C-alpha cells in the first residue's frame, strides 16, 4: 500500500471515528437536557467544561511520562487555539448543516 493511500485511509477512518464520537456526544447532550431541562447557556457551559476535563484527562496520559504510545505531545496553548477554532467553525456553520446533524427529540 502506498504511503499516500495509507494516509488517506487513516484520515478517513479518523473522520468516521470523529463523526461517531460527535454523534454520541450530541445524543448524550440532548438526552441529558430532556431528563434535566436547563437554560441553553448553562448546558453549553457544562459541555465546554466537560471538553476541558476530557482534554486534561487525555493530556495526563501523555507528555513527559506517557502512559499511551500514540506519540501525542500535549501543548495546552496550541491545543486550546485548535479547540477554539473548531468551536468557532461549528458556531458559524449554516443552519441546514446544524439542523441535519441534530437528533430528533420528542414528537410534535
Ligand atoms: Zn495517546
The mean pLDDT values, 10 residues at a time, for the chain of 108 residues are: 90 97 97 97 97 96 90 96 96 72 57
Rounded CA-CA distance 96/61 in Å is 38
Determine the pLDDT at residue 48: 97
Task: Name 1's Cβ contacts closer than 8 Å, sequence gap at least 6.
Answer: 9
- Break the chain into its structural domains and give their ranges: 1-37, 38-101
Question: How far does residue 45's CA lie from ligand 1's centre (Å)?
Answer: 27
Nearest to 73 by CA among 81, 82, 64: 64
- Predicted TM-score (pTM) of the model is 0.78
Residue 102 Cα to ligand 1 midpoint, Å, equals: 30
**Residues whose beta carbons lie less than 5 angstroms from ion ligand 1:** 68, 70, 72
Give residue 61 CA to ligand 1 midpoint distance, Å: 7
pLDDT given for residue 55 in this prediction: 97
Amino acid at each position: 500500500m502506498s504511503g499516500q493511500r495509507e494516509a488517506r485511509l487513516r484520515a478517513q477512518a479518523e473522520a468516521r471515528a470523529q463523526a461517531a464520537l460527535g454523534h454520541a456526544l450530541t445524543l448524550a447532550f440532548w438526552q441529558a437536557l430532556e431528563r434535566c431541562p436547563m437554560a441553553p447557556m448553562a448546558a453549553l457551559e457544562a459541555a465546554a467544561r466537560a471538553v476541558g476535563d476530557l482534554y486534561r484527562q487525555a493530556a495526563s496520559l501523555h507528555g513527559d511520562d506517557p502512559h499511551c504510545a500514540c506519540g501525542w505531545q500535549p501543548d495546552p496553548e496550541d491545543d486550546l487555539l485548535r479547540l477554539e477554532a473548531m468551536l468557532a467553525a461549528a458556531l458559524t456553520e449554516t443552519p441546514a448543516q446544524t439542523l441535519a446533524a441534530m437528533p430528533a427529540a420528542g414528537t410534535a
